[in-house]
Structure 1
Amino acid sequence: MNRKERRAAEKQRGASAGSANAPAFAAGIGIADLAAEASRLRTIGRIHEAQAICRDILAREPDHVQSLNLLGLIAQAAGDHRAAAKLFAKAIAADEVNAACHYNAGNSYQALGQRSKAAAHFSKALALGMEDKALAFILQSPVIAGYVGRIASKWPLAITAAELFGGESIAPLAKDLFLRCAMEATTLPSMQLELLLGHARAELLRLAGTPGKDRAAPDDDIVGFACALARQCFISEYAYAQTTAESGDADALRDRLLQNLASGATITPLALSVVAAYVPLHTLPTAETLLRRDWPASVAGLLRVQLREPLEEASDRAHIAALTPIEDSVSVQVMHQYQENPYPRWTINPLTAFAADQARGKIAPTAERQAELEILIAGCGTGSHAIQIAQVYPNARLLAVDISLTSLAYARRKTRELGLRNIDYAQADILELGTIGRSFDHIESVGVLHHLAEPTAGWRVLVSLLRPGGKMRIGLYSELARRVIVEARARIAARGYRATADDIRRCRQDIIREAEHWPMLIGARDFYSISGCRDLLFNVMEHRLTIPEIAAFLNDNGLSFQGFEPFDDPTVHEKFRKQFSGAADEANLEQWHRFEVDHPETFWDMYVFMAGKSAR
């Protein structure tokens, strides 16, 4: 081939590839590596090169999601939201369970003023697993970061509404659709955001409490924000602090609403939603008559959560079977706690994320998972755990028991809404389950046994119900990891706080004021709801165990340790292998004990592990 022919061939290759990066394909560089390079180039500002690589990839693989998403982000950054929305839509068509693409699409649709589409994509992103990342995205908003900074500049002194919101009141905050969707969907575990939303609630109270003919009706964003905030307050069980004056104003607004309810007078959406941000609507006399009125969609959603669903759960309680008596004195006290504060009050449908994991091959339909097993969920709480297990084992029959009727009613409603039919719920004390005359292939009891008077007594009952060759998944508190909880509980006792909602609120504010001393508590999701905080710091009974104690129980009861669950922190296993070099054995509890002594935060949530029973 002469020089002219070579130049012509090179020109042809360049034209067919569409960029100077085309030879990378010929060199054997895979699409995944090229996509990673495009992402890196975008990050360092080499936008045109990143675009060229993405277009090369799409010329060969038109539905390559990462490239479509990256081009969408580039268009978004340039302000071309129409082009961005089209690219994100194409990416979602190729991978409809991609949370990031839904979130990005939501941002572009919001910029285009298509707010219903934006909200739908934001809600989908949250349901697909963005729940844990939501807080970071919210706090990155320049508007919210500005508010948080103003609060911090005055902390621990109070900041006035004028200093915080200025002449615009909460209008800029109310326009944040992702914040609104997140408030409706999940607990937002952030001290900074809680302080901001507490101030926003007080400002809404001021707006709702000063009616007048000359006052303009609030726009849809303000009402939508107020409804979303009321739903967040309901999820957190009204954990936010409030001043004495604020409480008085909230009581006055509630009384006015009750008068209007009794007389049939007009009730404004703003007044209703603000009252619901201070007190759950289902606790108000004759509140069910609110359901007979016409309301905007945001208010209808609020009424569903705070009124329809609680009324349905109250009806359900009468239909839950009592499988065993509840006579142990500690069991009775624990029952009362979770009757008053069912835990956790989850809202996001776990089946959406499960379907996404299945689509990505993270949950394979193995023979064991397809088997017709008998499974016991001992201590099912509000049902999220049982529902997830029912999906993992679709052909299994589950018996899910709990000591709290309130929790069980919540679980039954959620299960019915999701259309699951392989779970039976019943009230029972684990200590009495030996009397039911049944055995199981698989038993789950996570976060339950340590609330019994004698955890090992309850655990032995479960072992007696496990069939030969069966497995059990157990979750127990760690003595080493929960030292900060022991310290906090001692301080709570010394200060005389009781396990009432008012005292839990006051205690939380003490902890927030001393945040630098309690980083583990401030960072715990359970800290941000009354039921979660009561479970975390005010539980009527809490035992903590060590790994040697767990090992001794397993040995004494014929169980084999089959490994801890994967950790959220991927470095744990790396550190473990490094500590024991070539001798590391993740089935060795003695090694795990030595590791935990050196890294006591490892099992902060709890020990969660599988154990097996011999087939003989």
Structure 2
Amino acid sequence: MANRQDRRTVTKSHMDKGAQALRRGDPREAAVWFGKAVVSEPKNASAHHNLSCALADSGALDLAIVSSCRALELNPKHDNAVKRLGSILKTPGLTLNRLPAPKGLLVAFGVADTDHTTLGPLAAQMIRQNSALTPAFELMEQESADAAAEWLCSKAGLKALGEPLLIALLTKTINRDLVVEKLLTALRRRCLLDRPVSELPPTPLQRVLAALAIQGAINEFVFATSAEEDRTLDCLQRDVETQLSEGGRIGGEALLYALYRPLKDLSAAGKLLEINPKKLPEPLRRVVEFTLRQDQEEATLKADLKRLRPIDAAGSTHVAAMYEENPYPRWLSMDIPVEGSWTRQLRETVGELASGLADTPENVLVAGCGTGRHALYCAFGYAPQNETLAIDLSTASLGYAMRKTKSFNARKLSFLQADILDLDLLGREFDIIESVGVLHHMADPMAGWRKLCARLKPGGVMRIGLYRDLGRQDILAGRAYVRDKKLTADPDGIRRFRQALIRDDAELADQTWRDSLMATPDFYSASEVRDLVFHVQERNYTLPEIGESLKELGLLFGGLEGPRSLKTAFRQKHPDPGAPQDLEAWWAFEQQHPELFRRMYEFWCIKPTD
């Protein structure tokens, strides 16, 4: 007991010295002291977390990730460790030479209010390089994906398929690793073509196939298919529909079908919901709950959705139709911002220009909320007093939004189907309006922007996001390729586009835009690819064009949002306190450092009080 108390005393001393070093701005010295605390008490989760913070601030990001995962392994309820891990994994261009143990990452996947998207690339790398599945990837590199899929169906491979990290990756986020996608596509193909489909596969494989079917639902079945697979699926669909209509036994056919196509496409899909769940094979039951049950819930929510008026503007109807088919983006999880943190961030960016804004914003409008994630950020970020109204053209997107937001208990968030062009009918004004990634998809963006200005209170603040012309040249090239090849904006056309890039067709071999698009996260789901290169309507902007628009609207420029690297570099170049609100200074800076900017400008503008 005395030795334990002594160790705690020593650990506390080390932790105190580490904290003092951090306050002095010396993370390297802090890492030394926190490292000593870890040696003193190896199972102290807080010591590992503090070490992670110091290592991250020192630039040793791979070691910081190892420490964060160890903290989570020791204390699965360590919220700060989850936040720190997610923050590190968002670092642009992150490369890891040392990987953590998987248990801590699995804990992070189990935390509801964290963005699992940030965990996906690390999970995929660990699965490829340091898991029971690594031999399959080595075999795929040495021989072929089909050989690797065959090994996975062997006794040794089936044991490897029990890898928990693979199940988490497939069911918690979109896989954005092409090597993992290649193996999964080959495994799916082998299961469909190389066994009697009426038989359920061995139990370890069933679990993975259920997870793979859920991944298909998440990425909207973006994986490539062959002509042989398509023919087999057509026959399989008829067999499953016969089983459902005649009340026959539901076996392996339905599970294999769910690997490739939405269950809702079956003519008698509703009967899967009527069957006693206990009579469905367990893996198929999981897929039915994740897909058809959620579709049913969204349909119920849409039925109660309030509408401002019918969507009938010529430039709005075809955009609405696109998002009815592909609600965007399909998100599964998110980080909940600290209450009121967005209000503080706004004031820090805009400075004195925000003096006319109420201390606690009461009314927030999210114009073009899509599937609701940004609306949730606003509801929490501008809390505690705000009422947030989120509008969108698409009922499918709003249904998805309402289903997803129910679990977050955002009591002051409401949804409405409405066109920005009809906002005069609201009869309300707002302290803050957010419209990010929306106006550039309107037939007349300025007409929409004027409608937003009319709903903004004097002294109110608006955040706008517009596509950046200089940052989308690769996307413009991709859109041109789609037009030249006459690819259709449907699942087949989207898969054909992706496969042309993945296969490295000869005509694309020297095209730098190909590699750029494949590196973007939007390449890995159907709705994101459609929004990226198949969109029915969009335009790009330069900062001078934005300046002209602000002048015409009578709005003041309040500053750009962007990554920390952008803001830090700008402040070094322009240390004057008022420089962030100087649009011309930003334009000159962009000419010198275009690589620091994102694909979209996000900026604040203010409506003067007089």
Interval containing the TM-score (normalised by the shorter chain): 0.7 to 0.9
TM-aligned CA deviation for residue 53 of structure 1: 3.9
Q: 2:388–2:414: 8 Å Cα contact kept in structure 1?
A: yes
Give me the whole-angstrom Cα distance separating, in 1, the residues matched to 2:158 and 2:237.
24
Q: TM-score scaled by structure 1?
A: 0.79
1:279 matched to 2:261: yes
2: distance between equivalents of 1:519 and 1:327? 39
Contact 2:459 2:607 in 1 (8 A): yes
1:499 aligned partner, one-letter code? A
Q: 1:234 aligns with which of 217, 220, 224?
A: 217
What aligned pairs does 1:213-362 form with structure 2 within 5 A after superposition?
Answer: 218-219=202-203, 221-268=204-251, 270-291=252-273, 292-293=275-276, 294=278, 295=280, 298-348=283-333, 350=334, 353-354=335-336, 357=338
Match of 1:586, SS state, is helix
Judge conservation of contact 1:68–1:87 (CA < 8 Å) in 2: no
- Aligned AA for 2:458? P
Q: Is the 8 A contact 2:123 2:169 kept in 1?
A: no
Note the residue ranges of structure 2 that are not aligned, 5 or more in a row.
54-67, 90-98, 348-356
1:88–1:25 Cα change, 3 Å: closer
Q: Distance in 1 between matches of 2:268 and 2:521?
A: 34
CA distance in 2, matches of 1:422, 1:28: 41
Question: C-alpha distance in 1, partners of 2:15/2:85?
Answer: 26
Change (3 A) 1:217 1:532: closer
CA distance in structure 2 between the aligned counterparts of 1:588 and 1:100, rounded to whole angstroms: 33
Counterpart check, 1:191 vs 2:204? no
Q: Secondary structure at the match of 1:480?
A: helix
Where does residue 595 of structure 1 map in the other structure?
589
Provide the C-alpha distance between the structure 1 equivalents of 2:413 and 2:73, rounded to a whole number of angstroms.
Answer: 37
User: Partner of 1:77 in structure 2?
Assistant: none
Contact 1:68–1:91 under 8 Å retained in 2: no
Task: Provide the residue aligned with 2:161 in structure 1.
Answer: 174
1:139 aligned residue (125, 130, 144)? 125
**In structure 1, the residue corresponding to 2:535 is in which secondary structure?**
coil
* Counterpart residue type for residue 367 of structure 2: A
Q: Is the counterpart of residue 390 in structure 1 residue 375 in structure 2?
A: no
Deviation at 1:37, TM superposition (A): 6.8
Shift of 1:364: 7.1
Change (3 A) 1:366 1:498: closer
**1:556 offset after TM fit, Å?**
2.5
The 2-side partners of 1:435 and 1:21 are apart by 63
Shift, 1:579, TM fit: 4.5
Q: Distance in 1 between the 2:45 and 2:185 partners?
A: 47
Q: Work out whether residues 34 and 51 of structure 2, in 8 Å CA contact, stay in contact via their aligned partners in 1.
A: no
Provide the TM-score with structure 2 as the length reference. 0.80
Which residue does the alignment assign to 1:543? 539
Secondary structure of 2:389's counterpart equals strand
Instruction: State the structure with more CA Rg.
Output: 1
Moved more, 169-178 or 192-201: 169-178
- Is residue 46–residue 71 contact of structure 2 (8 Å, CA) maintained in 1? no
In 2, Cα distance between the equivalents of 1:99 and 1:370? Answer: 28
Aligned-partner Cα distance in 2 for 1:26–1:178: 36
Change (3 A) 1:377 1:539: same
Deviation at 1:407, TM superposition (A): 0.9
3-state DSSP of counterpart to 2:221: coil
Q: Residues 93, 398 of structure 1: CA spacing in aligned structure 2 closer, same or farther, 3 A cutoff? A: closer
Q: Identify if the C-alpha distance between structure 1 residues 181 and 369 changes in structure 2 by more than 3 Å, giving closer, same or farther.
A: farther
Q: In structure 2, what is the Cα distance between the partners aligned to 1:408 and 1:373?
A: 23
Q: Which residue in the other structure is 1:559 paired with?
A: 555
- Per the TM alignment, residue 581 of structure 1 is displaced from its structure 2 partner at its CA by 7.0
**Runs of 5+ in structure 1 lacking a partner?**
1-11, 42-48, 71-83, 110-117
Q: Distance in 1 between matches of 2:29 and 2:76?
A: 20
Shift of 1:602: 3.6
Give distance in 2, aligned partners of 1:394 and 1:18: 39
| Separation in 2, partners of 1:27, 1:96 | 20
**CA contact 2:339–2:384 (8 Å) conserved in 1:** no
Change (3 A) 1:210 1:231: closer
Q: CA deviation at 1:277?
A: 1.4
Encode CA deviations 1:193-219: one digit per residue, 9 max, x unaligned. 22222112213324663556xxx8512
Counterpart residue identity of residue 246, structure 2: S
AA in 2 matched with 1:605: R
- Cα distance in 1 for partners of 2:70, 2:331 equals 33
Cα deviation, residue 101, structure 1: 8.5
Distance between the aligned counterparts of 1:599 and 1:203, measured in 2?
49
C-alpha separation in 2, matches of 1:237 and 1:17: 53
Counterpart residue type for residue 336 of structure 1: A
Report the residue type matching 1:323 in the other structure.
L
Contact 2:315–2:442 (CA<8 Å) still a contact in 1?
A: yes
- 522, 526, 531: which one aligns with 1:530: 526
Moved more, 544-553 or 433-442: 433-442
Q: Match for 1:341: what amino acid?
A: N
Moved more, 160-169 or 253-262: 160-169
In 2, the alpha carbon distance for the partners of 1:146 and 1:271 equals: 29
- After superposition, residues 198-209 of structure 1 pair within 5 angstroms as 198-206=185-193, 209=196
SS in 1 for 2:75: helix
Counterpart of 2:432 in structure 1: which amino acid?
A: H
Percent of aligned pairs sharing the same letter: 30
The aligned amino acid for 2:171 is: E
Q: Secondary structure at the match of 2:470?
A: coil
2:520 maps to amino acid: A
